[in-house]
Amino acid sequence: MKMRPPWNPCPVLLPACSFRRLLKMSSWHDYPPTTMSEDQNQPPYASPELYGLPSGVTERAPGAERRIEAQAKVAGHAVTELVERFGSPLYVIDEESLRGAYRRLSSAFREEWPDTIIGSSVKTNYLSAVQAILRSEGAWGEVVSGFEYRLCRDLGIPGNEILFNGPWKTDDDIRLAIEEGATINLDGDDELERVIRHARDMGRVVPVGLRLNMQVNYPPWDKFGFKLESGHALEAARLVTAAPELELCGLHMHVGTYIPDPGFYGRAVESLIAFGTRLERELDCTIAHLDIGGGYATRNTLHDTMLPGEAITATAEEYAAAICGPLRRAARQFKKKPRLFIEPGRILVDEAASMITTVRAVKRMAGQQKAALIDCGVHILPTSWWYDHELRPVEDKGGAIEDYRLVGPLCMQIDVVRKSVELPALTAGDLLVIQDVGAYNFSQSMQFIYMRPNYVLANASGVELIREAESDEYVRTPERLPAHLINDETSGSFLAGRDAR
């Protein structure tokens, strides 16, 4: 039986940003059926759900002119010229913006705690040019694999300026990190044992940090490290201090990613301080560094959140105050003032990158919403699964605004870059700029149906290619065609001459 949805009498329970969607409800019958309460005298309860009217009709009063701001340039360069030169889709890093983000974060923290080192989270953006720029600003490297470690070394970052984290490090990677004096943060008991074994083989005493996980947010990131509340972390610290091959010199945490509330960090740092000072008192160790990890949010808006990212995200100064305040207050409790490491990823790179994309077709979907098919799919913009990315048309077209679903070129129904976004009427050939795409989009991208495009770096002196668009050969080169599959038809294949080993 279909029920009238309960009208929520309390306006604060209605998400402010969903008000517009509420206005679009065509009738109560748009709501799904709810079950009648057992007691027929009780009003039925259904949690309030808001449904958008899937018609694409805007509800604005006639004459209420609204324009979607256009963006003709990226990093000071005309988008049309960038596309002429490098094609579409095109990923653009704005060098000045990247440097600006690093400097803002660095000065916010150094102001509060001068001995702060920024370890750039390499996994957040694998582009060498990006990491080289951050390095030139003074960043160390934060890595979670041998690949990332070698990338840093290749860019000239010495091993002793690398923070080596992650739930699994290979034996070769551990030995290299020991050899080169990287800061190894132990993630679990097995790794602890393996590092002891390698240190013994190599005749070295290895300074190590312990990664902790703790209950400050939900769900906790308890796949990593030693649990603080259960006593596991204390047990691990005892094992480390008892091992002649190891020296306990730091504590590490990374409580999650995209944490807009600096209060989480404040609480976590207080736990870290209490634990670190206890270890110094009870065990023979000096906690020379505290590593707070990354996770600082950007202005991107997560799906289904009530307010835009910009409205809820803390500033670099607020994160710095939340982390360094407790540290300053507790500084004297440590044997010596610990060095502070932070491992930012997204807050450094997210806002420095844009994706330029072209509308290739416009369709109307079953629900009557319009769909614009763009040449950038989720294979090169995987953060579409988390964010409602801000985007702008390149040309200021004016005219009516319509509700579009932006879909990518992949043969998957889930290839959706924006479920619903208001844009001026689009036609094939129109260019769009998707903003703030610097974090995780290249490192988590994949070749699927379409290749990865050109990646360029833009600055005041010009625009340079920093990663060439992939070709068929690039993708197929690692493949081999076994001898029994080489026949009259396949003998001409690009793969036929390759050694099958």
346 is a site residue for ligand PLP (CB under 6 A) = yes
Q: Measure CA 24 to chain center.
A: 32
CA–CA distance, 292 with 272 (Å, rounded to integer): 9
CA–CA distance, 128 with 151 (Å, rounded to integer): 8
For ligand PLP (CB under 6 A), the number of binding residues is: 17
Residue written as token pair 């197929």: 476
313 is a site residue for ligand PLP (CB under 6 A) = no
Please report how close the Cβ of residue 350 comes to ligand PLP at its closest, in angstroms: 8
Please report how close the Cβ of residue 416 comes to ligand PLP at its closest, in angstroms: 23
3-state secondary structure of 462: strand
Q: Measure CA 409 to chain center.
A: 23
- Among 434, 377, 378, 435, smallest CA distance to 409 is for 377
3-state secondary structure of 207: strand
121 is a site residue for ligand PLP (CB under 6 A) = yes
Q: Give the nearer residue to ligand PLP in terms of CB position, either 260 or 393.
A: 260
Q: Give the nearer residue to ligand PLP in terms of CB position, either 250 or 293.
A: 293
The H-or-E segment that residue 233 falls in is helix 232-242
| Chosen residue from 226, 296, 387, 404 binding ligand PLP by CB under 6 A | 296
| Chosen residue from 77, 169, 254, 379 binding ligand PLP by CB under 6 A | 254
301 is a site residue for ligand PLP (CB under 6 A) = no
Please report how close the Cβ of residue 259 comes to ligand PLP at its closest, in angstroms: 8
The H-or-E segment that residue 424 falls in is strand 416-424
Contact between 340 and 115 (Cβ < 8 Å) = yes
257 is a site residue for ligand PLP (CB under 6 A) = yes
For ligand PLP, the binding residues in 403-462 under the rule CB under 6 A are 439
Please report how close the Cβ of residue 91 comes to ligand PLP at its closest, in angstroms: 18
By rule CB under 6 A, what string of x and - marks binding of each residue 139-168 to ligand PLP?
Answer: ---x----------------------x---
CA–CA distance, 6 with 8 (Å, rounded to integer): 6
| Chosen residue from 95, 148, 173, 343 binding ligand PLP by CB under 6 A | 343
Contact between 16 and 307 (Cβ < 8 Å) = yes
Q: C-alpha angle with apex 313: 110 to 140, nearest 5 degrees?
A: 35
Q: Give the nearer residue to ligand PLP in terms of CB position, either 254 or 405.
A: 254
Q: What residue ranges bind ligand PLP (CB under 6 A)?
A: 121, 124, 142, 165, 254, 257-258, 293-296, 343-347, 439
